[in-house]
Amino acid sequence: MTTDIKIKKLGIGCDHLGLDMKNAIRDHLTAQGVEVVDIGVNDADPVDYPDIGASLARRLADKEFERGILVCGTGAGMAIAANKVSGIRAVCVTDPYTAERAVASNDAQIITFGSRITGSSVALMLADIYLRNEFQGGGSAQKVDKLKALDD
Ligand code: RB5
């Protein structure tokens, strides 16, 4: 694994269940010099995760930021919502190997976390792993090209 964060600008968002974890990741990455665009939410009022997930994914597809992180209760709903946006590949991450391969193999621009699944300290570590790795190309390029061909 390489040691430097590979991006300058990241978008982050959450639903009401992901608020505390989203804020912790935002502050952790800001402290490392990443420009973090926080699209909310910023209070505990219930919201529908597809609204936040799709909004962040659309803004990333428009190149407002290089990568994104989304947090909900399980990470599943946010991943489903983000993957509905053409051109976006989002992976729900719970372990270090998937954090690395999500970008190295899958070229995922977004990872998602479940605040009810993963502890905040673990999520910070997984975010670092994801952001310190890059797409490896090579044999993975043909497979990612086939994913791109599935986009609308
Ligand atoms: C709450 O809406 C819950 O369903 C959400 O946070 C997430 O776990 C969905 O996948």
Tell me the domain boundaries of the chain. Answer: 9-149
CA 69 to each of CA 92, 105, 140, 143: distance values in angstroms, whole numbers, following the listed order: 10, 18, 22, 23
Q: Is 68's C-beta closer than 6 angstroms to any atom of ligand 1?
A: no
- 80: Cβ below 6 Å to ligand 1? no
pTM of the model: 0.97
State which ligand 1 atom lies nearest to the alpha carbon of 114.
Answer: 8
The residues facing 37 across adjacent strands are 11
Write down the pLDDT at residue 2: 46
Q: How far apart are CA 65 and CA 35, in angstroms?
A: 9
9-149: CATH number: 3.40.1400.10
Whether 14 is catalytic is: no
CA nearest ligand 1 atom 5, residue: 73
CB atoms within 10 A of CB 122: 16
Q: Which residues in the chain come in under a pLDDT of 70? A: 1-3
Name the closest-CA residue to atom 8, ligand 1: 73
CA of 139 relative to ligand 1 center, distance in Å = 35
